[in-house]
Amino acid sequence: MEQLQAQSREKKTGNAVKVLRKEGWVPGIMYGSEVGNKPIQLKGRELDAALRHQATNKPFRLSVDGDTHDVMVYELQRHPLQGNILHADFKKINMNEKIHTSVPVLMTGDPELGVA
């Protein structure tokens, strides 16, 4: 399971979030029944590297200020032209409970002719 490091942050909007992004941070939020809504910030490069190594439909281990949580990426907001991550939502999961997620299926090869 991929490990991510994050820090708690004050709930900021507007210019404060723009400054965070310019410094290389990605604002985000972690939520779940046990933790409520917790604003966090992650290093943009670390998040990009983790997402390159692991699909978003697999769990991550997120360390926030020394506490470790099992989470899944719920939503990523990206810049429409540059493609960089603007905001990340993580949902805390319990590894002993069933969850529903979508899995991409890529089909390769050519279909056989005459088979319906």
Question: Is 41 exposed, middle or buried, given 0-12, 13-18 or 19+ CB atoms closer than 10 A?
Answer: buried
Q: For residue 100, what pLDDT is reported?
A: 81
Q: What is the pTM of this model?
A: 0.79
Q: Is a pLDDT exceeding 80 seen at residue 116?
A: no
**What is the tens place of the pLDDT at every residue in 56-115?**
778 899 999 889 999 999 999 999 999 899 999 999 998 888 888 778 888 888 877 765
Q: For residue 110, what pLDDT is reported?
A: 83
**What is the tens place of the pLDDT at every residue in 19-63?**
899 999 999 999 988 878 999 999 999 999 888 888 777 889 999
Asked if the structure places residue 106 within a domain, the reply is no
Domains: count for the chain: 1
- SS in 3 state form for 47-107? HHHHHHHCCCCCCEEEEECCEEEEEEEEEEEECCCCCCEEEEEEEECCCCCCCCCCCCCCC
Which domain range does residue 15 map to?
A: 2-92
Kindly report the CATH number assigned to the domain that includes residue 66: 2.40.240.10
